Amino acid sequence: MNGWMMKSRTVARGFTIVELLIVIVIIGILAAIAYVGYGAVQNSAHDTAVKSDLQKIDDEFKLFALDNGGQFPDTLAELSTLDIKLTSKSYNTSNFSNVYLCMNPADTEYAVISMSRSGKRFVVKSETGVKEYAGTVLWSPTQDNRNTTCASIDSTYTEVPGGLTGFRSGIWASWTGVKMEIITNLAANPSFEVDTAGWTVSTGVMARSSTWATSGTSSVRFTKSGTGDAGDIRLAGGSLTSFAGLFQAGKTYTVSADLNIPVNLTGNYERAPRIMTFSSISGAWVENFGPKAPITAGIYKVSHTFTIPSNANGFILALGGATSTASQIIYYDSIMITEGSQPRGYADGTYTTNNWSWNGAAHSSSSTGPSL
């Protein structure tokens, strides 16, 4: 009986504290090994995805060059036509920007550099294919050193104008995976930051002004110089017998702008301020007025969608002036002229905030980017 009791007690004895601690330590070591191994597998997968994406870019760029005289794509509009969709979850997202596009001056050589989530950077160059980036230029959440990075690949390379990079402010540029609609602001001088080039007046006085602005630091001020016709600011180039270059008969366009009425308007309010168009058919004007803006002081968004008659042989776009009472002042700024019937949010080509790029000189050209 006593022997049975002793045996039962021996079998029922549990683990000692030392034994439990040893088991816990062993489990911890095994878990750490497994975690490190899993992390290594993940990093390897991210690196492979980034390298595969760069190879896709290389393939698409070279196909583009075959159809474009050996030149690679260097604008957002051109890049958006390519079949490129990157594996966004495999890229480092803590940098100020990522996926840098560099070109030589002739657009006949290029390089794309990006950082994997693993922390490794890879580059594809038009002459050498995909490999790990060996440069020492630092990237950070506040500084990306794009041009320095490009120059580290080749001394002739610079960042493509417009800052066509991904993950700027946490947003992929459209060509790197988010399928955005790419639109163009046809207005070549949309915020009057330099001058009033490209615009003229029917009657009254037009001048660039720094008194008020909704984009940049300037707008255009229109002063009604006398009684009679309200007058307007007109896109230069349009007339009874011609179009203002960017318009085509039979197509639909939408114009939007910010309007500032500093003091209440008085007098005849038949025609202004609002956006207006005038088409010419066999020498006869066809007027098309957008909605009237309020006459009380304030800042307003005005827009007008119109279709130019297919048989039109002349066309004028006008931003309506103040009322017929003398010496009244209004301001216009942030002008968008886009094809189609959808009013668009203003984008001035500043890539640091919205991934838009100027198609020529900053503030003095049209601009292209994703719909805002």
| pLDDT tens-digit readout, 297-324 | 999 999 999 999 999 999 999 998 766 6
Domains and CATH numbers, the chain: 48-178 (no CATH), 185-370 (2.60.120.260)
Q: Distance (Å, rounded) from C-alpha 129 to C-alpha 91?
A: 19
Mean pLDDT over residues 110-124, rounded?
92
Q: Distance (Å, rounded) from C-alpha 372 to C-alpha 199?
A: 25
Q: Is 270 left (phi over 0), alpha (psi -120 to 50) or beta?
A: alpha
Cβ distance 119 to 92 under 8 Å? yes
Which position has the token pair 């890539």? 351
pLDDT band at 79 (very low <50, low <70, confident <90, very high): confident
pLDDT of residue 330: 92
What does pLDDT average to over the chain? 82
DSSP string, 214-263: SSTT-EEEEE--SSSS--EEEETT-BTTB--SS--TT-EEEEEEEEEE-S
* CA separation, residue 64 to residues 70, 153, 166, 217, 322 (Å): 8, 22, 20, 39, 50
More confident residue, 99 or 254: 254
Does 12 score more than 60 pLDDT?
A: no
More confident residue, 173 or 213: 213
Task: Round to the nearest angstrom and report the end-to-end CA distance of the chain.
Answer: 89
* CA separation, residue 329 to residues 9, 199, 235, 284, 318 (Å): 102, 17, 19, 31, 16
Residue 51, amino acid: K
Q: Distance (Å, rounded) from C-alpha 325 to C-alpha 332?
A: 19
Does 4 score more than 90 pLDDT?
A: no
Does 36 score more than 70 pLDDT?
A: no
Does 167 score more than 60 pLDDT?
A: no
pLDDT in tens, 332-369: 999 999 999 988 888 877 655 566 778 788 888 888 87
Q: Distance (Å, rounded) from C-alpha 275 to C-alpha 271?
A: 9
Highest mean pLDDT among 10-19, 75-84, 132-141: 132-141
- Chain centroid offset of residue 285 CA: 38
Closest alpha carbon to 309 in 275, 281, 339, 338: 281
| Least confident stretch, 104-118, 206-220, 239-253, 348-362 | 348-362
Does 64 score more than 70 pLDDT?
A: yes
pLDDT of residue 268: 58
Does 8 score more than 70 pLDDT?
A: no
Mean pLDDT over residues 53-77, rounded?
89
pLDDT of residue 168: 43
Q: Is 106 helix (H, G, I), strand (E, B) or coil?
A: coil
pLDDT of residue 13: 60
pLDDT of residue 169: 36
Highest mean pLDDT among 29-33, 111-115, 143-147, 157-161: 111-115
Mean pLDDT over residues 136-140, rounded?
86
pLDDT band at 170 (very low <50, low <70, confident <90, very high): very low
pLDDT of residue 245: 82
